[in-house]
Amino acid sequence: MIIALVGMPGSGKSTVGRHLARRLRVGFVDSDHVIEEHLGCSIREFFERSGEEAFRDLEQSVLDELTLQGTGTVLSTGGGSVLRAANRQHLRQRCQVIYLRSSPEEIFRRVRHDKNRPLLQVDDPLQRLRDLYQVRDPLYRETAHFVIDTGRPSVSTLVNMICMQLELAGHLPAGDWDRHSV
């Protein structure tokens, strides 16, 4: 089984994904890191040089590959991965998708000083996050099998919540994960 995490930039997909993979004793893949390896530069540099459409083409190709690669993986996706219907379809059909839902205000609090997020390098990043959320939230919900509100819980609490959801849905054997280790 591939567990894919979707959500807004800064919602915790990479951080929670790493901890979830460790808890489940499976591999972890961050699609943005795979894309940067393919590019040989940062996503931000590529975005500035080639534009969003070229980036989305590459992202779609990488996600298609990653969602076909076996099982036993936690996959963290880019915040805009759900913008393309093909990505939503591949994620939904090939993975158990968890939407880490965070409000624009929560995300702004977490990422306001991060200069490596190309879509937030604007005059009003909070408004940009609100605009992105309005477009993307329905797409995340369409793609996800489970929605986890990130709010204020710790990373270990979020990982426990995800494991419990997967166990209740029959995707993890009961007791197959240690509730106390992260």
Residue-wise pLDDT tens digits, 33-76: 999 999 999 888 898 899 989 999 999 999 999 999 868 899 99
79 is in an annotated binding site: yes
115 is in an annotated binding site: no
12 is in an annotated binding site: yes
Q: Reply yes or no on whether the pLDDT at 117 is more than 90.
A: no
The per-residue pLDDT for range 70-85, each reduced to its tens digit, is: 688 999 999 999 999 9
Residue 94 confidence (pLDDT):
96
What residue spans define the domains of the chain? 2-168
The band of 182, judged by pLDDT with boundaries at 50, 70 and 90, is very low
136 is in an annotated binding site: yes
13 is in an annotated binding site: yes
DSSP of the chain: -EEEEE-STTSSHHHHHHHHHHHHT-EEEEHHHHHHHHHTS-HHHHHHHH-HHHHHHHHHHHHHHHHHS-SSEEEEPPTTGGGSHHHHHHHHHHSEEEEEE--HHHHHHHHTT-TT-GGG-SS-HHHHHHHHHHHHHHHHHHH-SEEEE-SS--HHHHHHHHHHHHHHTTSS-TT-S-TT--
* CATH topology for the 2-168 domain: Rossmann fold (3.40.50)
